[in-house]
C-alpha cells in the first residue's frame, strides 16, 4: 500500500482519510488492474493464453473485437516478451463497445466511475460536471509504496528492440508502443501539467528512441514550444502505459490550454490520484501505472514518424512525417505489466469512444456557456469523429428571434473557436426530437430535412486538425493548407421549429400510438409468439 507524504497543491483534500484515498485508488476508474478485474467479472474480457504474434496478429484480433463488439482480449503470451522482465502483456480494445445494447458504453462507463448501463448523455454530462467542480489535486506518495516502481531499468538497461512492440496495420511506418498511453509534460514555469494521449512509434533498431506527432493545436506541441522558445534542448517527459483508466480517458479530452488534467481527473473521479516523482526528472506520474517511460523530447532533432492507420478509417500509403525525437532514460514498471492498445480504424475504437465523447463534452460545455440553445451534443461513432451533432431545444430557440443563417453562423463561431472544435470539422444542427446518438435516426433527419444549397454554411478560415482525407488528399491548388478551412454547419431545423412548434409526429412505434396501445403490445409481446430478444 502507498505511504502518503503530503498533498501536492491540495489543501482541499486534507480532510480525506488515508484509508479513503487508498480505497478509491483501487476502484476500477482509478486503477488499471481493478479495471481488468471488473471486465473479467462482467464477462467482458477474454484471457488469451495461446501464443500470439505482436506483428499484426495482436492487432488483427483486436480490430475484429471492435467490429464484433466482442469482449476485450488480454494477451498473456505475446511472442518476444522478455520472460525475465515480464515486459509485457497486451490488452486490446480497452474502450470498445459491448454487444448488449443495454450496456453498449459499459467500458466507457467503468472508466468514468459510472454504472455499466450509462447512456451517452450520462457520460457527456459526467465530463461536463467535472469541469465545474473544484480540482482535486493529486496526492504524492513515496517511491517505496508506488506499484509502478516495482522494477526499474536505467540507461543502457533499457532496450526497446527486445520488447514485443506491436505492429498495428500492415502498411504502418513502424511499430507503435503507445496508442492508448498518455504523455506527461510540464510548462517551464511549472504552472501547467499536461497529460495527453498521442500515438508513439518506436524507431526501428534504436534501443532508446521513440517519436510521436507533435502537431500545432495540440497541448503537447504548445508545451514543447514553450521549452524550445526558452532555448532548451530537452523537454522533460514521461509516457504512462496502463495508467488509471479515468486519466487515460481525460488524456483524450480537449480541455482548454493551461488546464492541468491531473486536478480535473480528481474532480471527475471524486477522489485525488496518488502520484509519485519520476526517477530522472521532476514530473509526477500515477503511482499505480503499469509502465512509466521517462526521458526527454528533443527540441532540435527530428526523425521520420508514420504513417499509421487513423481515426478517420483510412490507411494512406504516405511518406513519414518529420517529428521530434523522444529519448528514453529510464523505465519503471509493475510486475507482469499490461499495455493497453488502440488499433485505430473504422468505428468504433478508442479514437471514437474516448476522443469523440470527450470532444462532445467540451463542445456542449462551450455552447451552453455561450447561451446557445443546445440540449445535447454528440460525435456519432459512425462518422469517425468527423461530425459533431447538436440537438437544439426549440422552445429556447423560439425565444431568440434568430434566423436560420444566424443560428448556423453562431454555432460555427462558438464551436470552431473552441479547442474541441479544432477536431470537429462538420457541425449538424437538428431539433431535439431526434436521438442524435442513434445513427439510424440521424440519417433519417439528414435525408428528410436537409435542403441542398440552402442549409449549409461553409467556413474557410478556422484552423483544425490537418488529418482530414478530403483536405489532405486534395490538390495543393484546391487546398494549400490542409489545416485551415474545409469546415461547415449543416442546419436541419425546419421553419416551424424556430417558432417552437412541430406540426408532426414520428411515424414509429413510440411516436404514432397512444400509451395504452403501446403498453398492451409490450405486455403481450411473448403472447403474440415473439421472444423477448425480438426487440
What is the domain partition of the chain in residue ranges? 18-341, 371-499
What's the pLDDT at 412? 98
What's the pLDDT at 145? 92
Q: Which of 96, 83, 95, 90 is nearest to 55 (CA)?
A: 90
CATH number of 371-499: 3.40.1670.10
Query: 508 among the known binding-site residues?
Result: no
Q: Which residues pair with 75 in a beta bridge?
A: 48, 90
Helix (H) or strand (E) holding 535: none
What is the Cα–Cα distance from 243 to 26, expressed in whole angstroms? 12
CATH number of 18-341: 2.30.110.10
Both ends of the chain: CA-CA distance in Å?
A: 48
Query: 219 among the known binding-site residues?
Result: yes
Q: What are phi and psi for residue 451, nearest 5 degrees?
A: -105, 110
What's the pLDDT at 141? 95
Cell match 451534443: residue?
A: 377
Q: What are phi and psi for residue 296, nearest 5 degrees?
A: -140, 145
Radius of gyration for the alpha carbons in the chain, expressed in angstroms and rounded: 24
At 507, list the grid cell: 411515424
What's the pLDDT at 10? 36
HSE toward the beta carbon, residue 42, CA cutoff 13 A:
21
What crossing angle do the helices spanning 120-132 and 350-369 adopt, rounded to 10°? Answer: 60
What is the Cα–Cα distance from 518 to 523, expressed in whole angstroms? 9
Q: Which of 55, 93, 59, 17 is nearest to 340 (CA)?
A: 93
What's the pLDDT at 25? 82
The number of residues in the chain equals 535
What's the pLDDT at 13? 36
What tens-digit pLDDT sequence spans the chain (535 residues)? 333 333 333 333 333 444 454 466 889 999 999 999 999 999 999 999 999 999 999 999 999 999 999 999 999 999 987 766 778 999 999 999 999 999 999 999 999 999 999 999 999 999 999 988 889 999 999 999 999 999 999 999 999 999 999 999 999 999 999 999 999 999 999 999 999 999 999 999 999 999 999 998 889 999 999 999 999 999 999 999 999 999 998 988 888 888 889 999 999 988 899 999 999 999 999 999 999 999 999 999 999 999 999 999 998 988 999 999 999 999 999 999 999 999 999 999 999 999 999 999 999 999 999 999 999 999 999 999 999 999 999 999 999 999 999 999 999 999 999 989 999 999 999 999 999 999 999 999 999 999 999 999 999 999 999 989 999 999 999 999 999 999 999 999 999 999 999 999 999 999 999 999 999 999 999 999 999 888 8
Candidate list 310, 323, 350, 497, residue with the active-site label = 310
Query: 85 among the known binding-site residues?
Result: no
| pTM, full prediction | 0.91
What is the Cα–Cα distance from 23 to 455, expressed in whole angstroms? 53
* Burial class of residue 97, CB neighbours in 10 A (0-12, 13-18, 19+): buried
Question: SS3 helix, strand, coil % of the chain, rounded to 5?
Answer: 30, 25, 45
Residues 295, 237 contacting (CB under 8 angstroms)? yes
Catalogue the long-range contacts made by 218-226 (C-beta closer than 8 Å, 24 or more residues apart): 219/185, 219/194, 219/257, 220/183, 220/185, 220/194, 220/196, 222/194, 222/257, 223/185, 223/186, 223/187, 223/192, 223/194, 224/185, 224/297, 224/299, 224/324, 226/187, 226/188
Query: 197 among the known binding-site residues?
Result: yes
HSE toward the beta carbon, residue 266, CA cutoff 13 A:
24
Q: Mapped to the 3 state alphabet, what secondary structure does 115-166 carry?
A: CCCCCHHHHHHHHHHHHHCCCCCCEEECHHHCHHHCEEEEHHHCCHHHCCCC
310 assigned to active site: yes
DSSP string, 240-266: EES--HHHHHHHTS-PPTT--HHHHHH
Q: Which of 513, 23, 457 is nearest to 269 (CA)?
A: 23
What is the Cα–Cα distance from 383 to 347, expressed in whole angstroms? 8
What is the Cα–Cα distance from 272 to 22, expressed in whole angstroms? 10
Output the CA–CA distances (angstroms, integers) from residue 485 to 226, 311, 383, 458, in the order listed: 27, 20, 19, 9
What is the Cα–Cα distance from 250 to 499, expressed in whole angstroms? 39
For residue 114, whether the previous peptide bond is cis, meaning omega lies within 30 degrees of 0, is: no
Query: 417 among the known binding-site residues?
Result: no
Query: 199 among the known binding-site residues?
Result: yes
Residues 350, 389 contacting (CB under 8 angstroms)? no
Residues 6+ apart with CB under 8 A from 46: 70, 71, 72, 73, 74
Amino acid at each position: 500500500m502507498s505511504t502518503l507524504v503530503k498533498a501536492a497543491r491540495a489543501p482541499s483534500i486534507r480532510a480525506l482519510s488515508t484509508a479513503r484515498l487508498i480505497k478509491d485508488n483501487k476502484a476500477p476508474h482509478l486503477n488499471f488492474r481493478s479495471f481488468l478485474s471488473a471486465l473479467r467479472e462482467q464477462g467482458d474480457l477474454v484471457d488469451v493464453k495461446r501464443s500470439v504474434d505482436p506483428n499484426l496478429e495482436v492487432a488483427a484480433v483486436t480490430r475484429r473485437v471492435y467490429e464484433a463488439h466482442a469482449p476485450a482480449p488480454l494477451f498473456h503470451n505475446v511472442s518476444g516478451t522478455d520472460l525475465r522482465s515480464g515486459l509485457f502483456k497486451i490488452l486490446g480494445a480497452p474502450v470498445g463497445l459491448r454487444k448488449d445494447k443495454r450496456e453498449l458504453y459499459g467500458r466507457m462507463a467503468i472508466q468514468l466511475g459510472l454504472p455499466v448501463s450509462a447512456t451517452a448523455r450520462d457520460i457527456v454530462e459526467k465530463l461536463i460536471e467535472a469541469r465545474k467542480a473544484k480540482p482535486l489535486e493529486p496526492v504524492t506518495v513515496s517511491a517505496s509504496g508506488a506499484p509502478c516502481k516495482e522494477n526499474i531499468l536505467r540507461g543502457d538497461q533499457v532496450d526497446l528492440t527486445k520488447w514485443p512492440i506491436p505492429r498495428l496495420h500492415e502498411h504502418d511506418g513502424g511499430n507503435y508502443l503507445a496508442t492508448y498511453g498518455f504523455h506527461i509534460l510540464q510548462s517551464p514555469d511549472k504552472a501547467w501539467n499536461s497529460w495527453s494521449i498521442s500515438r508513439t512509434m518506436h524507431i526501428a533498431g534504436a534501443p532508446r528512441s521513440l517519436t510521436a506527432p507533435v502537431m500545432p493545436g495540440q497541448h503537447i506541441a504548445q508545451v514543447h514550444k514553450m521549452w524550445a522558445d526558452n532555448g532548451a534542448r530537452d523537454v522533460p517527459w514521461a509516457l504512462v502505459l496502463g495508467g488509471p483508466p479515468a486519466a487515460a480517458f481525460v488524456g483524450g479530452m480537449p480541455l482548454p490550454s493551461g488546464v492541468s488534467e491531473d486536478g480535473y481527473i480528481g474532480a471527475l473521479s471524486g477522489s485525488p490520484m496518488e502520484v509519485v516523482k519520476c526517477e530522472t526528472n521532476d514530473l509526477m506520474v500515477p503511482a499505480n501505472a503499469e509502465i512509466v517511460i521517462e526521458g526527454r523530447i528533443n527540441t532540435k532533432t527530428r526523425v521520420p514518424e508514420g504513417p499509421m492507420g487513423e481515426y478517420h478509417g483510412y490507411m494512406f500509403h504516405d511518406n513519414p512525417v518529420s517529428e521530434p525525437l523522444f529519448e528514453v532514460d529510464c523505465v519503471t514498471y509493475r510486475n507482469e505489466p499490461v499495455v493497453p492498445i488502440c488499433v485505430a480504424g473504422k468505428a468504433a475504437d478508442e479514437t471514437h469512444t474516448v476522443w469523440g465523447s470527450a470532444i462532445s463534452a467540451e463542445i456542449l460545455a462551450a455552447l451552453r456557456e455561450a447561451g446557445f440553445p443546445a440540449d445535447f451534443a454528440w460525435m456519432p461513432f459512425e462518422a469517425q469523429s468527423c461530425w459533431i451533432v447538436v440537438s437544439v431545444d426549440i422552445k429556447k430557440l423560439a425565444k431568440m428571434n434568430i434566423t436560420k443563417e444566424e443560428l448556423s453562423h453562431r454555432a460555427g463561431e462558438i464551436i470552431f473557436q473552441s479547442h474541441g472544435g479544432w477536431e470537429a470539422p462538420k457541425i449538424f444542427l437538428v431539433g431535439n426530437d431526434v436521438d442524435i446518438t442513434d445513427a439510424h435516426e440521424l440519417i433519417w433527419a439528414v435525408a428528410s430535412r436537409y435542403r441542398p444549397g440552402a442549409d449549409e454554411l461553409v467556413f474557410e478560415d478556422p484552423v483544425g486538425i490537418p488529418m482530414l482525407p478530403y483536405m489532405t488528399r486534395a490538390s495543393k491548388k484546391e487546398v494549400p493548407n490542409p489545416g485551415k478551412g474545409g469546415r461547415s454547419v449543416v442546419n436541419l431545423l425546419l421553419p416551424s421549429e424556430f417558432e417552437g412548434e412541430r406540426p408532426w409526429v414520428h411515424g414509429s412505434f413510440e411516436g404514432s400510438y397512444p400509451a395504452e396501445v403501446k403498453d398492451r403490445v409490450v405486455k403481450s409481446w411473448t403472447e403474440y409468439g415473439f421472444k423477448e430478444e425480438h426487440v
